């Protein structure tokens, strides 16, 4: 009997300086799709001060904290929930090292290596663990129900029974596929 491999969820943020550049934003979106990451949720928003404070609470005592909050609230960001097997590691590999100077020298073909400007303006964010992904998704998608997604939606994403809407930049469940009950009747 084959064991089921569940999909993993992660949060991805495309930072304000990238969203202002449609060409770069499209290149990053293309990279997400070309690497078979599925977009479960997608929204463009200006991150509020409250969201930024919650999101970056672990950096509160660091010297760059205020600069980071100011930048992240400075304009629209794209915020996605991505899924795939090992989505966290896959997205982090596409992003490259957090430190832009390191990315530019050791991982030039990564998102941060190509489009990062500084350690604050490093183009993207990605969760670093399952626990971080759950915490971060709850900040920006307070209505997202993890239990319901895994019980109902995950199987469709896992089987590829989804449709990609490039305008909304999101995958949706394709209900035109026959399910097991329909096939056996």
CA angle 4, 148, 182 (to 5 degrees): 65
Q: Could you say which of 125, 152, 163, 171 is catalytic?
A: 125
Q: Is 112 annotated as a binding residue?
A: yes
CB of 170 within 8 A of CB of 81? no
- Is 122 marked as a binding-site residue? yes
**Which tokens sit at 59?**
């950096």
User: Is residue 64 a known part of a binding site?
Assistant: yes
User: Is residue 98 a known part of a binding site?
Assistant: yes
Residue 59 annotated to the active site: no
Q: Could you give the C-alpha distances from 74 to 49, 68, 98, 123, 138, in angstroms and in order?
A: 10, 10, 20, 14, 21
Judge whether 177 is annotated as a binding position: no
Minimal CA–CA distance to 56: which of 45, 65, 47?
Answer: 65
Annotated binding site: 15, 64, 92, 98, 112, 122
Annotated binding site for ATP: 15, 64, 92, 98, 112, 122
Write out the catalytic residue numbers: 125
């Amino acid at each position: 009997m084959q064991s089921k491999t569940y999909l993993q969820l992660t949060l991805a943020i495309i930072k304000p300086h990238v969203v202002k550049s449609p060409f770069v934003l499209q290149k990053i979106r293309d990279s997400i799709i070309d690497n078979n990451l599925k977009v479960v949720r997608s929204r463009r928003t200006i991150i509020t001060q409250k969201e930024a404070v919650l999101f970056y609470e672990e950096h509160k005592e660091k010297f760059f904290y205020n600069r980071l909050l100011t930048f992240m609230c400075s304009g629209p960001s794209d915020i996605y929930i991505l899924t795939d097997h090992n989505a966290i590691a896959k997205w982090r590999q596409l992003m490259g090292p957090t430190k832009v100077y390191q990315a530019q020298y050791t991982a030039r073909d990564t998102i941060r290596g190509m489009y990062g400007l500084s350690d604050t303006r490093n183009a993207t964010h990605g969760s670093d663990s399952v626990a971080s992904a759950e915490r971060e998704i709850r900040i920006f998608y307070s209505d997202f129900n993890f239990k319901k997604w895994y019980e109902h939606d995950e199987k469709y994403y896992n089987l590829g029974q989804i449709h990609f809407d490039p305008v909304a930049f999101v995958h949706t469940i394709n209900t035109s596929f026959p399910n097991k009950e329909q096939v056996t009747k």
